[in-house]
Amino acid sequence: MIYSLLALSSPCSGQGSVTALRFAQAVIERDHQIQRIFFLDEGTLAGASSMVSPQDENDTVQLWANFAIKHKVELILCVSSALKRGLLDSGEAERYEKTAATVHPAFEISGLGQLIDASVASDRLITFGG
């Protein structure tokens, strides 16, 4: 079965982002596939390279990045949600004449078309957070 995930929750509040990651790991462990993981609204903070987790908490940004690299899964941040939260990749930073990118390199910024494409190419689209 092919899954796509939609993550709406900030990794800073609640368990939505961590639950999505655990679900993604379980999908892979059961020999299913993940088409794409799309982060929308507060969920885009999962890609913030400037986020620093307290010592007693998991670094969710790095956990997502490690997962994506290991399993070759796309992590897509909604462009409008990301920009509203100050999240810029190198292209967006240059476009808006900002001094630095603030998105972890494992994440990409793209539009809602990526979510639609993922839902069409998947058997299931699962949403986390709200």
Domain boundaries, the chain: 2-128
CB-CB contact of 40 with 81 (8 Å): yes
CB-CB contact of 84 with 90 (8 Å): no
Domain 2-128 fold is Hypothetical Protein Ychn; Chain: A, (3.40.1260)
In this prediction the pTM is 0.93
Q: In this structure, what are the phi and psi dihedrals at residue 34, rounded to the nearest 5 degrees?
A: -120, 120
Residues 47, 92: Cα–Cα separation, whole Å: 14
pLDDT at residue 105 in the model: 94
Q: Which residues are catalytic?
A: 78
The mean-pLDDT minimum among 25-34, 69-78, 99-108 falls in 99-108
pLDDT at 52 over 80: no
Count the alpha carbons within 13 Å of 81 in the hemisphere toward its beta carbon: 23
Query: For residue 38, what are the β-bridge partners?
Result: 6, 76
